[in-house]
Amino acid sequence: MGRLTAGMKYALQQPVVYLGLFVEFAFDEGSEYFWSGENPISWNSTTWQGGGLIGSISMEEENQDMKARRVVFTVNNVDRLYYATAVQTQYRNRPCRIWINTLNSAGSSVTNSHLLEEGRMDTMSINADGTLTLTVESRLLDLFRPNRYTMTTASHTRIEPTDTFYDYVPFMPSAELPWGLDATGSQVGGSSGGGGGTRPGWGGVVGG
């Protein structure tokens, strides 16, 4: 998602590159942060949990037909706390963000960062081997979903109850907007651009 920064491009061209995948799951109760390394790491004012929790990430390739891709995570060694999250928490349609970052040679700090994908959590399941599988949908899928909202007062007041803007929308196609006329429909100013005059209520000079 987006172009690589100059720093990221340079880092990826080096003979040896240290990479890490960083994932944020934004649940309603608060975000959970994981990365693909063994030890916790501090980045972006957040501590990201390691320990090999992210077992695998399967990501569909991008193509030119604007197909919305899906990402499938397998999380290892899941704490029972996350089992409760999988069963009880409203996680569907909550944001999920994936970064691919370069690290220093010790793997203890991030040197460059790139947002690889931003989507929404879709399905979560607990497997017999104790792992947890989570599917994330690309935000591009929104392009193929019908819009639940319309440009009407009834629809708009669900978001902004006191806003009356859309009360006037039905009258816009037939509205007459006089230009260069006063309130009585008479032309303001002299003919052929001369004479000068003022439009009532505007205070500006019309004409040369």
Is residue 174 situated within a structural domain? Answer: no
Query: Is 161 contained in some domain?
Result: no
What pLDDT is stored for residue 17 in this prediction?
A: 93
pLDDT by residue (tens digit) across 107-142? 889 999 998 888 888 888 777 777 778 888 876 666
Contact 180, 191 (CB under 8 A): no
CA 110 to chain centre: 23
In a domain, 12, yes or no: yes
In a domain, 10, yes or no: yes
Tell whether 28 is covered by a domain.
yes
Domain count, the chain: 1
Angle subtended at Cα 4 by Cα 58 and Cα 59, rounded to the nearest 5 degrees: 10
User: Does a structural domain hold residue 49?
Assistant: yes
Confidence of residue 46 (pLDDT cuts 50, 70, 90): very high
The whole-number pLDDT of residue 45 equals 92
Asked whether residue 195 is assigned to any structural domain, the reply reads no
Cβ atoms of 70 and 60 within 8 Å: the answer is: yes
In a domain, 151, yes or no: no
In this prediction, residues 95-101 reach a mean pLDDT of: 89
What CATH number should be reported for the domain holding residue 22? 2.30.110
C-alpha span between 160 and 163 (Å, rounded): 6
Q: Which domain holds residue 58?
A: 6-144
Q: Answer yes or no: are the C-beta atoms of 85 and 27 closer than 8 Å.
A: yes
pLDDT at 103 over 90: yes
Q: What is the pLDDT of residues 51-96, one digit of tens each?
A: 666 667 776 655 555 555 678 877 776 666 666 666 677 788 888 8
Q: Per this entry, what is the length of the chain?
A: 208
